[in-house]
Structure 1
Amino acid sequence: MLYTDRAFIDRFEPVADLGADAVEFWTWQDKDLDAVERELDAHGLDLVGMVGTEGPLTDPGRIDETVAEIERSVEVAADLDCPTLFVLTGDERDDASRARQRELVAEGLEAAAPAAEAAGVTLVLEPLNTAIDHPGYFLEAAEEGFDIVRTVDSPAVELLYDVYHQQVTEGNIIQTVTENVEDIGHVHVADVPGRYEPGTGELNYPNVVEAVEDAGYDGYFGFEFRAKEESDEAIQAGLSLRE
């Protein structure tokens, strides 16, 4: 979402130059992974997250295909020393009950969990807002996401808590994170409105980050935001939250 005026492979250097020590990106299937590894090594960066599947875990006719996609992504993540895979549910369907679709999501994660456990990779299930960015998406509420994670009951399955999506959906960020931090495997940040960098909108991000860390979260904060003006300035705004 940053340095979109550059070719993907040319985005690693400026991030490192600004002081970041890690990166994440979305899909790996459309990337030159050998080139990615060279850039990571050249600039001393870790790859900490990428998309393991965009679903549909909600489709009973494609659940085996989706699980196989996650398992293949686990192999790729292990090869890249990437500890986290983002898992999306896919859209809500009208040919199965919501309860059945929720069961399918849990069953799919349960089926993929042994491969993730063996590889030391964490699958993080992500709720998304349906009001602005992802109309029709199945999993919107953090509480339902936590319930699914607890149903699966695997150390390799946790929740991706995206502060932007959950502020749009339901708010109550600090209390939700504090009460459920043991099931959060990754955090994304962006401000509301606009999905720009922290400090551009309504969220008090210094308070949010401090509360998340005080609750016991010690992982990365992924910068899943657009730059309101310049990418350099946006990244610096994000990095300043943990100075």
Structure 2
Amino acid sequence: MIYEDVPFVDRIDRVADHGFDTVEFWTWPDKDLDAVEARLDEHDVSVAGMAANTEPRRPEELERALTDPTKQDAVVGDIEESIEVAERFDCPNLIVLVGPEVEDYTRAEMYESVVACLREVAPTAEAAGVTLIVEPLNTTVDHGGYFFEESSVGFDIVREVESPAVKINFDIYHQQITEGNIISTITENLDAIGHVHVADVPGRHEPGTGELNYPNILAVLDDAGYDRHVGFEYSAAGDDDRALAAIRELVTE
């Protein structure tokens, strides 16, 4: 979502120039993985996360969706292939987007399909040391038609699957739009959170451009003992360099 005016691998250079040593990105099948690996090695930059879904399309438009009971074999195959790529990059997290609401199925049937897919693939993820992080998305602004937006549903999925390799990607931007109550929700469910995404509301820009008090939120995460990655998934309100400099200042305070 940043430096979109330059080739993908060159964005790694820009991030490294700002002093960051970890990146994440969305789908991997549309990337030149050899080139990505070479650029990461050049800058000694690691990968914190990538998408488990192999289709380069919007989450609410996925054809091979966890919510579709007829696609479970294909979905599991996609995730297993993504786990192999994650192992190649020593990447600890794969973001799982469950997909759209599927016509002709009840919400209960779609929910059970999601749980069944994750239960089947969880042992492979455990063996690889990869965490599958399931993500709720807001349906009001960005992803109408996506299956679920409430963090409570995500926590229920994690606890029903009962695997250390399945947790939630808690995207603060999405959850502020959907439900608010960010700090309490995080601290009360920290055991089920495997990754945190950050952007401000409204606009999905860098922290400091909207209504969220990110210095407080990040301090609470530290105090609560959260020891995993925080990914800044945003589009810059203006200049990309200025946005990254502001983030660097925020995380080093």
TM band (smaller chain): over 0.9
| Distance (whole Å) between structure 1 residues aligned to residue 206 and residue 196 of structure 2 | 14
Amino acid at match of 1:88: L
Match of 1:100 among 103, 109, 119: 109
* Aligned partner of 1:194 among 177, 194, 203: 203
Whole-Å separation in 2 of the counterparts to 1:177 and 1:239: 23
Q: Which residue of 2 aligns with 1:177?
A: 186
SS state of the match for residue 82, structure 2? helix
CA distance in 2, matches of 1:138, 1:235: 32
Give ranges in structure 2 of 5+ residues lacking alignment: 54-58
**Aligned residue for 1:71?**
80
- Find the aligned partners of 1:186 and 1:167 in 2 and give their Cα distance: 16
Aligned partner letter, 2:3: Y
Please report how far the alpha carbon of residue 49 of structure 1 lies from its aligned counterpart in structure 2 after TM superposition: 0.3
Q: Which residue of 1 aligns with 2:233?
A: 224
Aligned residues: 243
TM-score, normalization by structure 2: 0.94
Aligned to 1:21: 21
Instruction: Tell me the equivalent position of 2:139.
Output: 130
In the other structure, the counterpart of 1:38 is 38
- In the alignment, structure 1 residue 3 sits paired with structure 2 residue 12: no
The alignment status of 1:233 with 2:242, answered yes or no, reads: yes
Q: Give the letter aligned to residue 102 of structure 1.
A: Y
Counterparts of 2:87 and 2:217, CA distance in 1: 31
User: Which stretch shifts more, 47-56 or 79-88?
Assistant: 47-56
**1:22/1:46 contact within 8 Å kept:** yes
Amino acid at match of 1:2: I
- Kindly provide the amino acid, as one letter, of the partner of residue 194 in structure 1: G
Q: Distance in 1 between the 2:247 and 2:174 partners? A: 17
Distance in 2 between the 1:17 and 1:34 partners?
A: 21
The RMSD of aligned alpha carbons is 0.9
| Displacement after TM superposition at 1:238 (Å) | 2.0
Task: Name structure 1 gaps, 5 residues minimum.
Answer: none
Identity of aligned residues (%): 57
Contact 1:209 1:241 in 2 (8 A): no
- TM-score, scaled relative to structure 1: 0.98
Aligned-residue offset at 1:94 = 2.6
1:59 aligns with 2:68: yes
Measure the CA separation in 1 of the matches of 2:13 and 2:108.
Answer: 46
Stretch moving more, 212-221 or 97-106 = 212-221
Q: Which runs of 4+ in 1 moved over 3 A?
A: none
Show the counterpart of 1:47. 47
**Contact between 1:149 and 1:158, CA under 8 Å: does it hold in 2?**
yes
